[in-house]
């Protein structure tokens, strides 16, 4: 089987559906194919709320069929091999598809195998993750009776770098409501040197850490999980580049004590050579994440395995008729749906301009991303930033009645935005090709 498309899209997640929808709105004559075998599409930003029992898991799901724009050919197969010199994709079934323009946005994959023992421990017993099974997370929080509650994250890039701490704040409030918090030490072990890259937001979050009396352990590289003995093993490395939104800060000397901790708690730790094992009674983690193998092993990848694209135009650095966006792209910003919201119009404008005149449009992506940082039931901070890592609110969001003057501070209106308005905009606007 062989078929040709003017534009072929790999991936039916947020990026793929948005590209297809916006392209169809702007040019109904262009022949588009979308390659993805998944039957369901998930609104993943709500997984944190599912894990805290304040959003129904079923409401995060839509059928892929209901989201594929009219006029787009849905190819229910896995992409397998790239032949960019001949503008060809081969699927796992051995079918070939050719294209004039290719959009690569398959997302990333969970890679628990990068931490010893995690594959065996993941989503079993008291080890949980909103990234993979948020309903299991709620089961663990609901049944927790006290002890050490460990929240942690890997050194790899991850989607939504703020998510590992959002569930921690919600857990704190849940434990408090059920009189468990007084019997609990909450520990946040992270690979970086500060809690968040954007300074005004980091200041707010450190105030919340103080108020909630949470122990942060910096420069902790997760290397092993012993699910049976309930020990998470770390190596201490001050030279680590942190994944997601957590990076080094000029002010880390003010927040680190000599033991690279903040709000020290005397939880049980076992030392084995250069490794430190934190004993836990429950653990929530973001698992390590990586580029899909068919991307990492392709001629489109960087040496690190991510998709190689220009950080402003989203055009592949070697092949001019290939564009990439979303979590798979190697870009110096956070991997979020908010970033995709800004990347999609750039990709669509550039392809349509190339169809018309073999030139790029004047649209560029400035690295905008945002992390809606839920800090408790009914409270949220909205971190917005670009490649500069400065706090830069989106003027479009400022137009919404619910928005507040300074979204780097906690506010109940931002919770309403997260729980109600953003899901509505996602399903009814973004997925249908409306620029928001």
Task: Report the C-alpha gap between 92 and 94 in whole angstroms.
Answer: 5
Q: Is 245 annotated in the active site?
A: no
| Catalytically annotated residue among 105, 128, 245, 371 | 371
* Cβ 101 vs Cβ 61: under 8 Å: no
Long-range contacts of 168-171 (CB under 8 A, 24+ apart): 168/214, 168/284, 169/208, 169/212, 169/374, 169/375, 169/376, 170/48, 170/51, 170/52, 170/54, 170/374, 170/376, 170/377, 171/52, 171/141, 171/144, 171/284
Q: How far apart are CA 81 and CA 122, in angstroms?
A: 30
| SS3 state of residue 97 | strand
Please report, to the nearest 10 degrees, the dihedral formed by the alpha carbons of residues 173, 179, 184, 190 taken in order: -10
- How many other CB atoms sit within 10 Å of the CB of residue 356? 10
CA atoms of 94 and 389, how far apart (whole Å) = 44
**3-class state of residue 349 by DSSP:** helix
Would you call 128 a catalytic residue per the annotation?
no
361 with 353: CB under 8 angstroms?
A: yes
Among 105, 128, 160, 245, the one annotated catalytic: 160
Longest pairwise C-alpha distance within the chain: 67
Q: What are the φ/ψ torsions at residue 357 (nearest 5 degrees)?
A: -145, 15
Q: Rounded to the nearest 10 degrees, what angle do helices 134-143 and 163-177 cross at? A: 30
Strands 61-63 and 40-42: antiparallel
Residues annotated catalytic, as ranges = 160, 371
């Amino acid at each position: 089987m062989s078929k040709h498309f003017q534009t072929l899209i790999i991936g039916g997640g947020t990026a793929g559906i948005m590209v297809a929808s916006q392209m169809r709105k702007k040019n109904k004559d262009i022949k588009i194919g979308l390659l993805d075998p998944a039957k369901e599409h998930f609104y993943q930003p709500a997984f944190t709320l599912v894990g805290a029992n304040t959003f129904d898991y079923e409401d995060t799901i839509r059928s892929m069929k209901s989201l594929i724009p009219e006029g787009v050919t849905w190819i229910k197969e896995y992409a397998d091999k790239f032949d960019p010199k001949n503008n060809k994709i081969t699927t796992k079934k051995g079918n070939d598809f050719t294209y004039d323009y290719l959009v690569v946005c398959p997302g990333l994959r969970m890679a628990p195998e990068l931490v010893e023992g995690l594959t065996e421990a993941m989503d079993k017993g008291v080890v949980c993750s909103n990234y993979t099974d948020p309903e299991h997370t709620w089961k663990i929080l609901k049944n927790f009776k006290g002890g050490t509650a460990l929240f942690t994250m890997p050194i790899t890039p991850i989607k939504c770098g703020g998510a590992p701490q959002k569930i921690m704040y919600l857990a704190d409030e849940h434990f408090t409501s059920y009189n468990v918090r007084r019997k609990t030490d909450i520990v946040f072990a992270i690979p970086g040197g500060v809690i968040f890259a954007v300074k005004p937001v980091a200041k707010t979050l450190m105030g919340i850490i103080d108020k909630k009396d949470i122990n942060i352990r910096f420069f902790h590289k997760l290397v092993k999980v012993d699910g049976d003995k309930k020990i998470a093993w770390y190596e201490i490395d001050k030279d680590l580049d942190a994944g997601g939104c957590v990076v080094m800060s000029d002010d880390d000397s003010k927040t680190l004590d000599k033991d690279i901790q903040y709000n020290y708690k005397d939880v049980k730790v076992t030392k084995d050579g250069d490794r430190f094992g934190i004993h836990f009674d429950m653990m929530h983690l973001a698992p390590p994440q990586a580029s899909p193998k068919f991307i990492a092993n392709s001629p489109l990848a960087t040496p690190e395995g991510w998709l190689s694209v220009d950080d402003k135009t989203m055009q592949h650095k070697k092949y001019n008729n290939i564009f990439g966006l979303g979590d798979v792209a190697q870009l110096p910003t956070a991997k979020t749906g908010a970033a995709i919201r800004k990347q999609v119009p750039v990709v669509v404008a550039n392809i349509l301009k190339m169809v018309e005149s073999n030139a790029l449009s004047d649209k560029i992506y400035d690295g905008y991303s945002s992390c809606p940082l839920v800090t408790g039931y009914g409270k949220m901070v909205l971190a917005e930033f670009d490649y500069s890592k400065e706090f830069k609110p989106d003027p479009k969001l400022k137009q919404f009645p619910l928005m507040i003057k300074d979204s780097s501070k906690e506010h109940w209106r931002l919770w309403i935005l997260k729980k109600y308005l953003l899901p509505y905009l996602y399903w009814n606007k973004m997925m249908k090709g409306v620029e928001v």
